A and B are shown apart, each in its own frame.
Chain A
Amino acid sequence: MFVAIIALGALAAAFGLILGYAAIRFKVEGDPLAEKINAILPQTQCGQCGYPGCRPYAEAIARGEADINQCPPGGEAGVVKLADLLGRDPKPLSAEHGQVKPKMVAVIDESICIGCTLCIQACPVDAILGAAKQMHTIIAKECTGCELCVAPCPVNCIEMVPLKPDIAHWTWTFPDEQPQPPALKGAQG
């Protein structure tokens, strides 16, 4: 009886130590779920979801504060992916957070720009180059099309234009939209 209590007590203490050590040794920094959600979000950093960037939105979803349908740049596909990850049912994008738009890029009309730096401060990804009283310009390659620079401009010289299609980014259309017959006579005998 006494021996059993001591033996079990010793075992409990030993396992407790191992578990305690493991908790310290293998501690996961940050929230792994938020990390996974953030990887799905499009990183536009536009704030249309109501949070100041993709990561805060991801954290809010992880905490259960935000819904999964608040990201228009991610589109329906993004909602489906989030639903898959979180084991929920996909739902349509909520209308109050904006519409799905084609991919855009900001363009500064450099002849109007007064060099006020307000857009530089607004850009979440540092995609605007310029300095006080110097002309500003957008680094198109880095622009996510978030539109955050448009509103602060005091002279309305920033315009959002749809991305121009080019061969490197062109994709084949889904076949049903454009049926093509085989070119060679004699097919299917």
Chain B
Amino acid sequence: MIRRLWKFNGGVHLPAHKEESASHPVRRAPLPKRLILPLHQHIGESAEAVVKAGDRVLKGQMIAHAKGFVSAPVHAPSSGVVVETGDLPVPHPSGLSAPCIVIETDGADQWTQLQTHGDYTRLDPSALRNIIREAGIVGLGGAGFPSFIKLNPGPGKAVNTLILNGVECEPYITCDDMLMRERAPDIIAGLRIIRHALRARECIVAIEDNKPGAYAAMCAAAAGTDIHVVQVPTIYPAGGEKQLIKVLTGMEVPGNGLPIHIGVVCHNVGTAAAVYRAVEYGEPLISRYMTITGGNIAQPRNLEVLIGTPVKDLLDECGWNPATLDRLLMGGPMMGFALPGDDVPVIKTTNCILAMTAADSQPQRPVMPCIRCGACADACPVNLLPQQLYWHAHAKDLDKVQEYNLFDCIECGCCSYVCPSNIPLVHYYRYAKTEIWAKEREKQKAEAARLRYEFRLQRIEREKTERAAKHTQKKEELTAAPVDPSGTKKAAIVAAMERAQAKREEVKSEE
């Protein structure tokens, strides 16, 4: 069936660099000695550890449970002993440390008792969501939003179109491509489970037209069903959620809205495969496909990697050369970030490890003034005005950048890529975004401090009046009440005086 497709504004054509890593079948990465599991691998609140140093854990056992609604649990990717819980370097652009659980593997790779759930079609959507939540599944496309939330359209909202995103538009990355080629039936089965939970009317699998192998495999797996497998033109960033929705449906997601507001839900192909494993076999999310590539890697390829494997183990497995390593990125060259070192672990959202030599990456060219050419606005897939955003972010005018819809920016990097003056535009937007969030936090803290301060003043005032009231009451009691109402005290004193007098006289008379 030929489907009508739409176009989004801008985008760029990039050198793909995909063949290098997509020419070998995927194999399992060897079991690492140490697994480092950060408690925060998703959007939302950190998970909370339920094991401590010295505990023995089995493969698939929950080691940290979800805390709060937007959160996901973490499971042990292999059996072994917890040797440490504490702050360790995690993959994050800040290079800071965060709470982690470290497991020393025992090599047995012994599974815990897995709970299967039988025929999913007889399960209630909420029960399905619960299984997916307990399996720790988050969006594997990059953002890491807990998936069970995106399986709940919410009251009164119907899902018209369910999109499975296999576009994978960023250069170098091929893990979704390989997953579709090798595990298409799993993905389609996962898609049907997601569809069952969402009661979606229509299902579309979108694949870029530079992945004919994946397209053929998915078509074969979806044959005989009403699932549409669609090829979309190769242009970056067609895999962005809002861009893909525009391409497939012609509809635009409103600025501050979510796809569900226009009846669309989007999931990644990797997520669908993980959902299938969780529902069919009770397996939690403990491994994923990952691309290890770049000019520094001798045999670029995809590996099935346990979450928590140190990056260095993967680089060793694929043959790297530390001497010529220029930059080590997690994610792709457009949206990835530089890793602080090779000792950090991979996490649920890691799709690619990119080890570049100096020859791979762009030589650093001097940043020059903006010449107002407008190339960035032509390239922006969200129809923003990158130039205006840049001026105001540069001037640190945080109100103005928000007026220009800074928070609709998806940080795809198209504007920086086309900028003839080499201005690091996205860096400015990231700076402005985090600065606005910091200001917001400060404001909330100041408000809380103000309330506490005012409450304290009130309390001191209240205590003062209470004390004064008590004081006057006591005083009144003392003055109003007669000191010795019945006169017994007086009488006793008189009697004592008389006794003393008598005694004195007695002594006198004896003399």
Contacts and interface: CB of A to CB of B under 8 A. Distances in A.
B322 to A, nearest CB: 19
B361 A181 contact: yes
Given A43-B447, A169-B441, A183-B362, A188 B422 contact: yes
A40 to B, nearest CB: 9
Interface in A136-164: 142, 144
Given A124-B453, A181-B362, A187 B417 contact: yes
B361 A172 contact: no
A95 interface: no
A84 to B, nearest CB: 11
Nearest to A53: B453
A172 B396 CA distance: 13
A179 B428 CA distance: 11
A184 B449 contact: no
Interface string B169-184: 0010000000000000
A129 to B, nearest CB: 13
A131 to B, nearest CB: 16
B316 interface: no
Contact of A169 (B40, B420, B438, B447): B438
Interface in A173-189: 173-175, 179-188
Interface string B383-426: 00000000000001000000000000000010011111010100
Contact of A43 (B14, B93, B329, B449): B449
B94 A179 contact: no
Nearest to A127: B452
B456 A124 contact: yes
B5 interface: no
Contact of A172 (B93, B327, B445, B453): B93
B424 A167 contact: no
Interface string B351-387: 0001010011111110100000000000000000000
B486 interface: no
Contacts of A171: 431, 434-435, 437-438
Contact of B94 (A170, A180, A188): A170
A126 B448 CA distance: 11
A181 B417 contact: no
Interface in B80-94: 90, 92-94
B456 A167 contact: no
Nearest to A178: B427
B67 interface: no
A144 B449 contact: yes
Contact of A125 (B94, B329, B413, B449): B449
Contacts of A186: 14-15, 362
Contacts of A54: 450, 453
A175 B364 contact: no
Interface string B449-480: 11011111100000000000000000000000
A124 B458 CA distance: 12
Contacts of A173: 431
Interface string B225-238: 00000000000000
B417 A182 contact: yes
B96 A165 contact: yes
Contacts of A170: 92, 94, 96, 434
Interface residues of A, number: 35
A184 B90 contact: no
A42 B446 contact: yes
B333 interface: yes
B98 interface: yes
B362 A180 contact: no
B334 interface: yes
B334 A172 contact: no
Nearest to B456: A126
Contact of A184 (B98, B334, B427, B452): B334
Contacts of B77: none
B336 interface: yes
Interface string B43-62: 00000000000000000000
Contact of A185 (B362, B416, B438, B442): B362
A167 B15 CA distance: 33
A188 B333 contact: no
A166 B445 CA distance: 17
A55 B416 CA distance: 46
A183 B134 CA distance: 37
A167 B89 CA distance: 11
B430 interface: yes
Interface string A42-61: 11110000000111000000
A124 to B, nearest CB: 5
Contacts of A53: 453, 457
B449 to A, nearest CB: 4
B367 to A, nearest CB: 6
Contact of A167 (B98, B422, B433, B441): B98
A180 B15 contact: no
A183 B356 contact: yes
A38 interface: yes
Contacts of B453: 43, 45, 53-55, 124-125
Interface string B5-17: 0000000001100
Given A43-B447, A43-B453, A175-B427, A181 B438 contact: no
27 contacts: A38-B450, A42-B442, A43-B449, A43-B450, A53-B453, A53-B457, A125-B453, A125-B456, A126-B452, A142-B449, A166-B96, A167-B90, A169-B438, A170-B92, A172-B93, A172-B433, A174-B431, A175-B428, A179-B367, A181-B362, A182-B333, A182-B413, A183-B327, A184-B14, A184-B171, A184-B417, A187-B418
Given A38-B450, A144-B449, A172-B431, 15 more contacts: A42-B446, A45-B449, A55-B454, A125-B452, A125-B456, A166-B96, A166-B98, A171-B431, A181-B365, A183-B361, A184-B171, A184-B361, A185-B361, A185-B362, A188-B420
| Closest 4 pairs between A and B when the two form their complex, measured CB to CB | A171-B434, A183-B333, A181-B364, A43-B446
